[in-house]
Structure 1
Amino acid sequence: MRKRTAFALISALFLACMLAACGQESSNGSTGSTDSDTEQASVDIGMLKLTSSAPLFIALEKGYFEEEGIDAQVSWFEAAQPIAVATAGGDVDVGATGITASLYNMVAGGEELVIVADKGREQEGYSSTALLVHSDSDIETVEDLKDKKIGITQTGSTFHYMAGRLLEEHGLTSADVEMVPVNSIPGLMETLQSKQVDAVLLNEPNITMVLDEGYGKVITQVGDVIDYQTSGIFFSKSFAGDTEAATKFLKAYAKATQYYYDAVLTKENGEIVPGENYDEVIQIIAEYTDQEPAIIERGLPYMDPYGQLLAPDIQTQIDWYAKEELIAVPIDADEIVNTDLLDQAIKELE
């Protein structure tokens, strides 16, 4: 009798365990269904290891993309133009790079992509790109550059554009000078030091390096003369068409640009002061760009607090490049700009 009772108890215990296990499996199955419902969207980002990619680094490091249901994968590039090509071709969903004549020529040739957000611009009161001459030069103003040589990276580059616009803002044209392409930033520094050119355009931290070494002096900061959207965040046609995923991506990006701005770009009494998260942001940028923090601190580009694009400037750029015959076919900025997605993202963050 006791054996039968013991067997019954064991059977009852076994049955209870089985039911509990089934209940847990059912619960796990339910959770799995929820996970499936909130499956993350995979987004491939093409970018360079530059300080101007800081918001993307921040969003990756702090998990902002994950919070928005975005599985962000990074494809690292060595030059700017291939990023635009990859974005237009759909090899990456998002491209982060400079806005050049080559980009506009791609669009004019039928390639499709859209610029959706800020990734760095020239802004009054912030050191980013400047016109420099040799320290012992007698050139004091932009007007003094008539009949002189100006070093730029490449024809149709952002440096070419800035040089041309600076000249026009001071009553000159590109025809009044000789533009000398030297293909690289180190090349610009070398040609200035050796006096092969009369002036160059340089960005930070290279400006500060030249000043520290004593062979150059600044004539003017570009941002003090013109507002200029130097680089942007691009979406492929297909990704821009997926408005839900695109908006989620931009929500994460907007949070990151705000974090970046508050940490390194806020001002008090007209002077930039380190924000609460300054050291953290500098360290994140240093790790992603493989540079020393001290170098990073010298070249922190201006960005809109929410990553909003300086949209009217895109048409200004197109018109200038077309005037200089650097774009084969003029295009309408509406073909290449989409600010609605970021506007919606910011609205959802409020």
Structure 2
Amino acid sequence: MKKAVKFALSSFLVLSLALAGCGKSEGGSTTEQPKPEQGQAPEAVSLEIGMLKLTSSAPLFIGIEKGFFQEEGIDAKAKWFDAAQPIAVATAAGSVDVGATGITASLYNMVAGGQKLVIVADKGREQAGYSSSALLYPSDSPLKSIEELKGKKLGITQTGSTYHYMAGKLLEKHGLTLKDIELVPLNSIKGLMEALKSKQVDAVLLNEPNISTVVEEGYGKVIAQVGDEMEYQTSGIFFSPKFADNKDAAERFLKAYAKSTRYYYDAVLNKVDGKIVPGENYDEVVNIIAKYTDQEPDMIKKGLPYMDRDGKLLESDIKTQVEWYAKEKLIDKEIDPSEIVNTQLLEDAVQKLGK
């Protein structure tokens, strides 16, 4: 009996040592656990994107409609807003995971006040050779230059808006300041167009497709395209702090977003011999935008805003904006742009996406 017990114990010991040996490599280190197979679907993430029904949201519409987000395991749903500022507030609060809207003084003031969000990608910018925003005078105005605005009335949407910033920077480039003119906030694009038509102001800043509408109807003329005067990051894609911390999901979102910006760019912004030539998917992209913005395709074709093909943010301009808003006392205090900008997430996503 004792021999049998000893034999059993010896056999158990040998077996245990053999099993332990299977768990070691030749160098004595523990072998790694098997990794998920390549091609395995990523962990699904549901999120809401706060946005406006604007053409500049086109890549987001494309990403949803074409299934680019779904391919990356991102169940992206649009949450519609009626104004820009509430989107930034909702993103900082985590009420939405992603925000898409203009970069304004109020956004910088939120950050200066301690609220957190991260600007990660382009959603529209002023760029030379593309019509996005412009300075217009009444068609019969004797004024022909920006310099002649001295002592005149210039209509913008709101104080601290992107229009306010464009007005200030345009004037400074041409030797004037905001103190040299009367700035007239008119609260809406419709208000700007009506004020120009009735000549309540001497000039207005407008965006497309409204620029084309005014020119076609004959009551306004373009004096300067903003993009030809300066590069300017007008709007961006923001992440809530919580979503930005989820690096895997954030990168997957941006991989799909970059795929969408490329699809948009190649369809509507590609140039041949200096002229924009509609790409293969031009009509499809226009119809997708029409579906999500409730606009007619012909109207959309008048104003397709510029954005970087890979969705890359004009990072240096954020610093320029912060300094200008602080100088004009439109933000409570100057902030460090590095606290609110993260371009690394998109760079990593684009690298994984490839050419």
Using the size of structure 2 for normalisation, the TM-score is 0.88
Match of 1:157 among 137, 156, 161: 161
* Aligned residue number for residue 174 of structure 1: 178
SS in 2 for 1:279: helix
Q: Given the alignment of the two structures, is residue 280 of structure 1 paired with residue 264 of structure 2, yes or no?
A: no
Q: Given the alignment of the two structures, is residue 339 of structure 1 paired with residue 343 of structure 2, yes or no?
A: yes
Shift of 1:43: 1.4
Q: Given the alignment of the two structures, is residue 76 of structure 1 paired with residue 80 of structure 2, yes or no?
A: yes
Match of 2:96 among 92, 95, 118: 92
Q: Given the alignment of the two structures, is residue 230 of structure 1 paired with residue 234 of structure 2, yes or no?
A: yes
Shift of 1:298: 0.4
Give the residue type in structure 2 aligned to 1:340.
Q
* Aligned residue number for residue 298 of structure 1: 302
Question: CA separation in 2, counterparts of 1:59 and 1:72?
Answer: 9
Question: CA separation in 2, counterparts of 1:45 and 1:219?
Answer: 36
SS in 2 for 1:331: coil
SS in 1 for 2:238: strand
Q: Given the alignment of the two structures, is residue 192 of structure 1 paired with residue 208 of structure 2, yes or no?
A: no
SS in 2 for 1:207: helix
Match of 2:222 among 212, 218, 236: 218
Whether the 8 Å contact between 2:156 and 2:204 is mirrored in structure 1 is: yes
SS in 2 for 1:341: helix
Shift of 1:38: 4.2
Match of 1:247 among 251, 256, 273: 251
* Aligned residue number for residue 71 of structure 2: 67
* Aligned residue number for residue 7 of structure 1: none
Shift of 1:95: 0.1
Shift of 1:335: 1.0
Match of 2:209 among 205, 208, 216: 205
SS in 2 for 1:306: coil
Deviation per CA, 1:34-92, whole angstroms, max 9, x where unpaired? xx984411111111110000000000000001100111122111110000000000000
Q: Given the alignment of the two structures, is residue 107 of structure 1 paired with residue 117 of structure 2, yes or no?
A: no
* Aligned residue number for residue 263 of structure 1: 267
Q: Given the alignment of the two structures, is residue 147 of structure 1 paired with residue 148 of structure 2, yes or no?
A: no
Question: CA separation in 2, counterparts of 1:174 and 1:334?
Answer: 28
- CA RMSD after TM alignment: 1.3
Q: Given the alignment of the two structures, is residue 53 of structure 1 paired with residue 57 of structure 2, yes or no?
A: yes
SS in 2 for 1:334: helix
Question: CA separation in 2, counterparts of 1:43 and 1:245?
Answer: 10
Question: CA separation in 2, counterparts of 1:185 and 1:67?
Answer: 37
Question: CA separation in 1, counterparts of 2:274 and 2:117?
Answer: 38
Question: CA separation in 1, counterparts of 2:199 and 2:304?
Answer: 28
Question: CA separation in 2, counterparts of 1:226 and 1:70?
Answer: 36
Question: CA separation in 2, counterparts of 1:102 and 1:37?
Answer: 40
Deviation per CA, 1:208-235, whole angstroms, max 9, x where unpaired? 1000110100100000000000000000
SS in 1 for 2:135: strand
Give the residue type in structure 1 aligned to 2:270.
T
Count of residue pairs the alignment pairs up: 317
Alpha-carbon distance change, 309 to 38 in structure 1, aligned in 2, over 3 angstroms = closer
Q: Percent identity?
A: 71
Whether the 8 Å contact between 2:209 and 2:300 is mirrored in structure 1 is: yes
Question: CA separation in 1, counterparts of 2:73 and 2:41?
Answer: 11
Question: CA separation in 2, counterparts of 1:331 and 1:210?
Answer: 38
Question: CA separation in 1, counterparts of 2:298 and 2:78?
Answer: 25
SS in 2 for 1:132: strand
Query: Of Structure 1 and Structure 2, which has the larger fraction of its residues in helix?
Result: 1
4+ residue runs over 6 A deviation: none
* Aligned residue number for residue 15 of structure 1: none
* Aligned residue number for residue 129 of structure 2: 125
Question: CA separation in 2, counterparts of 1:232 and 1:139?
Answer: 34
Give the residue type in structure 2 aligned to 1:178.
E
Question: CA separation in 1, counterparts of 2:246 and 2:205?
Answer: 39
Deviation per CA, 1:115-160, whole angstroms, max 9, x where unpaired? 0000000000000000000011111000000010000000000001
For 1:23-38, what aligned pairs fall within 5 Å after superposition?
38=42
Whether the 8 Å contact between 2:42 and 2:72 is mirrored in structure 1 is: no
Shift of 1:264: 0.1
Alpha-carbon distance change, 37 to 65 in structure 1, aligned in 2, over 3 angstroms = closer
Question: CA separation in 2, counterparts of 1:119 and 1:331?
Answer: 22
